[in-house]
Amino acid sequence: MERREAIKSLSLALGYSLTPAALSGLVTSCTNENVESRQPVFFTSKEMYAVKQLAEVFLPKTDLPGAIDLNVHVFIDEYMAAIPNQKDRDKCKAGVEAWTLNFEKETGTKVSDAEITDFTKSVEGFFKIDEEKQKEVKELIHGEEPTSEKESYFIYSFLFTVKRLSILGYYASEEIGENVLSYLPIPGEYKGCIPVEEVGNAWSL
């Protein structure tokens, strides 16, 4: 089965909510392929560059790998191409187009020529907002497509999609699942009642 078909099948089975454990094998295949020669399947090349940089803004490299290190943008591209819901795909496309226009207008720089600092400023502009504005944004993106404020609706929907899928793809990756989270390929004995301090790190399985 091709990766996109596998993602689609899992999406249907899980109501489009894909868990990191279920996707770990799929994300591994995304990170192992030759990314440099890979052609996007959902986004354009220009949009793909933006998604790549935005994912890194949400999950920058520290003492742990960043989103770019794990090719999280490849996972996002594959995921969006595979989900069965055409409405969600159309909304994402409208969002990336609206965000691109806004970005290039505000920065005076083409997306393809922009630096990571430009993307960071863009994200901060949309997310560093007061509580009242946060409430308005939450109500906006969780409602139906509005008759007004369409630009904000599509931009925020796109940014939240990138953020959500970045986190999903990141924690489903083999690198994070096996080397950062606690990991047992074959679970040990079941202990139903143990002190929480003995649990230790979060588990990837």
Residues 73, 30: Cα–Cα separation, whole Å:
9
Residues 83, 180: Cα–Cα separation, whole Å:
28
Residue pair 23/9 in contact by the 8 Å Cβ criterion = no
pLDDT tens-digit map of 7-60: 445 444 434 444 444 454 455 555 555 667 788 999 999 999 999 999 999 999
Read off the pTM: 0.74
Domain residue ranges in the chain: 3-173
Supply the pLDDT for residue 20: 46
Residues 65, 44: Cα–Cα separation, whole Å:
25
Under-70 pLDDT residues of the chain: 1-35, 174-194, 196-205
